[in-house]
Amino acid sequence: RHIWTKEPLCMVTRENDSEWSSYVDAILQGLMAAAEMGVTQSTASSFPKSVWHIRDFDSMYADAVASVGNYLELYSTNIRSAGLAKRMNAINSGTGMLYALPHGYPEQEGPRPAEGSKLNAIQVAQKLRCGMMTNQTSLGEGFCLAIAAGIFSDVPDARVEWVWYEAHEELLLAVSNGEVDVAMDVPVSAEAAFQYDITFSSPYFFPYDEEDGGVSLDGNGQQALELPDHDRAVGLAASNSDRQFAKFCFWIMTAPVISEEDELPFNDMVLVGLFGSSYKRMFRDAVLFVGDYSRIYESYEILVGPRRGRNFINLLETRGPQHLPLLFGSNVTSLVW
């Protein structure tokens, strides 16, 4: 019997080189995308080219797969108990994927925001600028209010300035150059992270498509799929120009998910010292104002439809596949085959 713990393993890069970090993440996403598409080590040359527009990197995904195989091939080569791939380490085919990463020891005191930093500037201005699309509504408004609550605690809705854009490219450029503080409801993709020098949060909404998902593949990638629909997950984006603020947004986005998963009321949420003493209640204030994930979803259900598919918690008792390739998106240049 396998015992499942919430201790995911990952690669770690230095935060002062966002280009390298984006490259590492893109390679991992490429290996997973290859597994989902049925591209194996022997057919690696069929994988689409990168759109990074960097000399000698256009075939980086194909080269990676040719070297080690796709994600499931790599997994079966290195993990002897291949049956494990049928659980969390498999490619998701449409089951619940909301999963908040472990917080570790957030009570430890960290450096407070320096003068001139993004968090400091937002506090001084008493305003959080949230960029959103005019023709697309997901749960972004609720999560932007959660960030505002974590920063201001009192009347956060009065301290948000909504800025609307017509295209994802305009929205991502706006957050990249500092025109807005955060961008909401944008398709999460590794290639967009590189192109716009931004950091995405974990996805908080998965648009449902009757034809999306397919099936989980075995270690040989036998059941080939077409290239997945581009905009299969949306989340928040923040500029890499201020890593402290990007991390603040990333972690506060996990609070509503943990609140639902562990059935924690706001006053039982852990205190956080990582961003200085002024933000110890960031999780509690976020959940106090917007509620847990289920409450946020209910608030926007009339706009996004009934909760289903990947928009459920990946519960500990039934841990399902947690990998979903998010390599390409409609907000990046067209693919080159």
pLDDT value of residue 19 = 86
Residue 43 — very low, low, confident or very high, per pLDDT cuts 50/70/90?
very high
Higher pLDDT, 234 or 180: 180
User: Which three-class secondary structure state does DSSP give residue 237?
Assistant: strand
* Mean pLDDT calculated for residue range 76-80: 78
For residues 127 and 122, what is the distance between their CA atoms, to the nearest angstrom?
A: 6
* Residue 218 in domain: no
Q: How far apart are the first and last CA of the chain?
A: 43
For residues 328 and 67, what is the distance between their CA atoms, to the nearest angstrom?
A: 21
* Residue 131 in domain: yes
| DSSP secondary structure, 197-208, as one string | TEEEPPP-B---
Q: What string of H, E and C letters represents the secondary structure of 159-179?
A: HEEEEEECCHHHHHHHHHCCC
For residues 271 and 4, what is the distance between their CA atoms, to the nearest angstrom?
A: 26
Q: How many CB atoms lie within 10 A of CB 265?
A: 12
pLDDT value of residue 220 = 40
* Residue 25 in domain: no
* Residue 156 in domain: yes
Among 78-82, 125-129, 215-219, the range of highest mean pLDDT:
125-129
pLDDT value of residue 53 = 56
Share of the chain above pLDDT 90, in %: 46
Amino acid at 213: G
Per-state percent for the chain, helix, strand, coil, to nearest 5: 40, 10, 50
Amino acid at 166: E
Q: In what order do the strands lie in the sheet with 160-165?
A: 160-165, 128-133, 182-187, 234-239, 198-200
Residue recorded with tokens 């204030």: 285
Instruction: Note down the domain range covering 125.
Output: 118-212+224-315
* Residue 112 pLDDT > 50: yes
- Count structural domains, the chain: 1
* Residue 258 in domain: yes
pTM summary value: 0.85
pLDDT digits (tens, 9 = 90+) for 257-301: 999 998 999 999 999 988 988 999 999 999 999 999 999 999 999
Supply 298's token pair: 């209910």
pLDDT value of residue 216 = 35
pLDDT value of residue 146 = 96
Q: Output the domain CATH number for residue 175.
A: 3.40.190.10
* Residue 76 in domain: no
* Residue 21 in domain: no
Among 155, 127, 163, 191, which Cα is nearest to 289's? 155
pLDDT digits (tens, 9 = 90+) for 209-232: 544 443 333 334 333 333 344 568
pLDDT value of residue 226 = 37
pLDDT value of residue 107 = 77
* Residue 251 in domain: yes
pLDDT digits (tens, 9 = 90+) for 44-68: 999 888 766 566 788 899 999 999 9
- Cβ(274)–Cβ(305) under 8 Å? no
pLDDT digits (tens, 9 = 90+) for 146-173: 999 999 988 888 999 999 999 888 999 9
